Amino acid sequence: MELILIYYRLKRTILKVILILGHGIKGIVIAGEAKIGKNVEFSHQVTIGRSKGGVPTIGDDVYIGPGAKIFGGIKIGNNVRIGANCVVFEDVPDNATVVLQKPRVIIKDPDYHYSIFEDTEKHKKG
């Protein structure tokens, strides 16, 4: 885990005091001009992105789980937890947790065969 003590502008992104990077900086994308509060923990593959001309404002004491995406001119409140792979595009109030719905299982036809090749016979022949 990397703890970075920061208060400066990086490509117009405003960061305050402590930024916690659970898996280092690799794979984290933060849009210019995004506002990020104190004690925010970013997991790997997080994107804080611009949408419709707006960038997010993230409050203090926020955890952002692996693969989460936060887009647009929205406000993420203080003491918020955002779960893995969540896509957030609307405001989140203080003291909230954001999670995904339960995954769905889709049953395929019994004759269906998954192949990365279009024609498996052609690739078997070489």
Which stretch, 38-42, 60-64, 118-122, has highest mean pLDDT?
60-64
What integer best gives the mean pLDDT of the chain? Answer: 81
Q: Model confidence over 79-113: pLDDT tens digits?
A: 999 999 999 999 999 999 999 988 888 887 888 77
Residue reference for tokens 């929205």: 74
* Most confident of the ranges 23-37, 38-52, 81-95: 81-95
Confidence of residue 116 (pLDDT cuts 50, 70, 90): confident
Contact 15, 32 (CB under 8 A): no
Q: Which has the higher per-residue pLDDT, 57 or 1?
A: 57
In what order do the strands lie in the sheet containing 69-71?
Answer: 29-30, 47-49, 69-71, 87-88
Backbone angles phi, psi at 121, to 5 degrees: -65, -40
- Give the model's confidence band at 4: pLDDT under 50 very low, under 70 low, under 90 confident, else very high: very low
